[in-house]
């Protein structure tokens, strides 16, 4: 019989409480302890009132929890509790450090299960009512980020696909836009920026690649940037991508 409890890597989705999966919500209601990311909302944590809550967040440019410490916290909790939930924004398997956490748990002999979540790219496309693929226009999509491990700094390349989705965009998206223009992408290529996706203060910004190359302005929450011709407004499409969203259009 194992001396450890079981650890669940659960995807919280983009932020809204009702966008977590049913399995994720059920596990939160059963959890003894929840180790959660900085991007997990207070509303989401209302689903686990009975659990001990431990913040282990990482935010660019802010004081963050080291990954080695997070791994140790999970192992310590697995010694103490039967049901341990590691709650991660979006989907654990996409830009979620799942590989490092799975390795640590597996090496220690801890039983672990992954529960998928809605990744922000799909939630952002839904919020803007803008498919990432379009027949005859875009048949390939790449999700990428400029964040890298220190040993790979400076090696980021922009993928060569029809539609590009840059996670943790912000200032890095401006550099991406400049590179794409240098590579021959059209200056009028549509761009959609979604800030605080699925949250009450969600903001959708529509602009061109050329405009993005000159700057994005200040953001007050997590930013995702989608680029490509599939993102052009449809003939009868209203510009307000989602009810309650603040939508800004620029050149």
How far apart, in whole angstroms, are the C-alpha atoms of residue 216 and residue 53? 35
Q: pLDDT of 79-101, one tens digit each? A: 999 999 999 999 999 999 999 99
For position 221, what pLDDT does the model report? Answer: 85
Helices (H) and strands (E) in the chain, counts: 7, 11
How far apart, in whole angstroms, are the C-alpha atoms of residue 11 and residue 178? 33
Q: Which residues of the chain form beta strands (DSSP E)?
A: 6-11, 33-36, 52-55, 83-88, 112-115, 141-145, 163-167, 190-195, 203-208, 223-227, 246-249
For position 243, what pLDDT does the model report? Answer: 39
Residue with tokens 């050149």: 251
Which residues does the annotation mark as catalytic?
37, 58
CATH number attached to the domain at 120-249: 3.30.950.10
Return the domain boundaries, the chain.
6-115, 120-249
Please say if the pLDDT value at position 60 is more than 60: no
User: Between 45 and 218, where is the model more confident?
Assistant: 45
SS3 42: helix
Share of the chain above pLDDT 70, in %: 88
Give 163's strand partners.
141
> Which listed CATH number (3.40.640.10, 1.10.1060.10, 3.40.50.2300, 3.40.1010.10) goes with 6-115?
3.40.1010.10
Q: For the whole model, what pTM was predicted?
A: 0.88
Burial class of residue 113 in the structure, from the number of CB atoms within 10 Å of its CB (0-12 exposed, 13-18 middle, 19+ buried): exposed
């Amino acid at each position: 019989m194992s001396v450890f409890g079981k650890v669940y890597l659960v995807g919280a989705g983009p932020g809204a409480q009702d966008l977590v999966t049913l399995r994720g919500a059920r596990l939160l209601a059963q959890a003894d302890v929840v180790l959660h990311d900085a991007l997990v909302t207070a509303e989401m944590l209302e689903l686990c009132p009975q659990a001990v809550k431990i913040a282990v967040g990482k935010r660019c440019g802010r004081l963050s929890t080291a990954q080695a410490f997070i791994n140790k916290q999970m192992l310590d909790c697995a010694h103490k509790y039967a049901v341990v939930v590691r709650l991660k924004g979006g989907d654990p398997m996409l830009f979620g450090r799942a590989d490092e956490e799975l390795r640590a748990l597996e090496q220690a002999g801890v039983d672990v299960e992954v529960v998928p979540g809605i990744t922000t790219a799909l939630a952002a496309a839904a919020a803007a009512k803008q498919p990432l693929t379009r027949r005859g226009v875009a048949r390939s999509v790449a999700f990428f980020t400029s964040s890298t491990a220190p040993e790979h700094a400076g090696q980021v390349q922009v993928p060569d696909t029809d539609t590009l989705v840059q996670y943790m965009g912000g200032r890095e998206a401006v550099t991406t836009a400049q590179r794409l223009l240098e590579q021959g992408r059209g200056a009028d290529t549509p761009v959609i920026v979604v800030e605080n996706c699925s949250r009450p203060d969600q903001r959708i910004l529509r602009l061109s690649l050329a405009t993005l190359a000159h700057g994005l302005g200040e953001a007050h929450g997590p930013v995702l940037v989608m680029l490509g011709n599939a993102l052009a407004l449809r003939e009868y499409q209203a510009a307000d991508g989602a009810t309650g969203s603040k939508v800004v259009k620029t050149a």
